[in-house]
Amino acid sequence: MSMTRQERKESITKQRKQQIFDAALKVFSQKGFDQATIPDIAQEAEVAVGTIYNYYQSKHDLLLSIIKDYIFTESLIGLLEQSPKSDAATFLSSLINERLTIGLANTDAMQLLMSEIRRDPELLRQYTEQVVRPTFKLLEEQLESRIARDTYHPSNIRVVVRALIGMIIGLVIISGIEGETGLLRRIPRQELASEVTKLILEGIKGK
């Protein structure tokens, strides 16, 4: 079945954005965020400078979009849509597996973002409002509904979600320190996700 004109347009836009994202990460890594320019990124992506400005207002906007649209929001929503009725254990295991996969595949982008938000209050504000808070809220709602219908005692779900995210980020950081031959890289991803899931669920198990 052939795509409609609107579907073709959306497909081209998505491909163009990914092309720009890939080029931006490469240029940021080579030149550093401060020294990189939009013309540099356009040259690497083989697009006109104006094409980038059609989508993004600045380098900060571009970096935030990389994180929000492709690393966090889109992939997370996709996971939730796939398992709307799963129990807490299945949901957590799938979530952790997916988050670890995304985190380990995008360590350059994450390191770049963390470096920039430490020294740029405006980027920190945007990241908090557009990525962190919506992500926490979504996870709190999804996990709370599952805990309520499973056999777990009431917990401070906001703390549980932050502990979960902290564990995932910590594992990604440790994996980066250990390198490709480290323990976390050698353990199958699903097995690693299952171990973290058990740690979380043991803490909120009904007595």
Domains of the chain: 1-56 (1.10.10.60), 58-203 (1.10.357.10)
**pTM, full prediction:** 0.74
Give exposure, 74-106, as e/b (b: 16+ Cβ within 10 Å): eebeebbeeeeebebeebbbbbbbbbbebbbeb
Task: Give the length of the chain.
Answer: 207
Q: Tell me the pLDDT of the chain (207 aa) as tens digits.
A: 567 888 888 888 889 998 999 899 889 888 888 899 999 999 999 999 999 999 999 988 898 888 777 666 666 777 777 666 778 888 888 888 888 888 887 777 777 777 888 888 888 888 888 888 988 888 888 888 887 776 666 678 898 889 888 888 888 888 888 888 888 888 888 898 898 888 888 776 655
- What distances in angstroms separate CA 141 from CA 93, 114, 122, 161, one per listed residue? 17, 26, 28, 10
* pLDDT recorded at residue 37: 94
* pLDDT recorded at residue 49: 95
Contacts of 123 (CB under 8 A, 6+ apart): 60, 63, 64, 116, 117
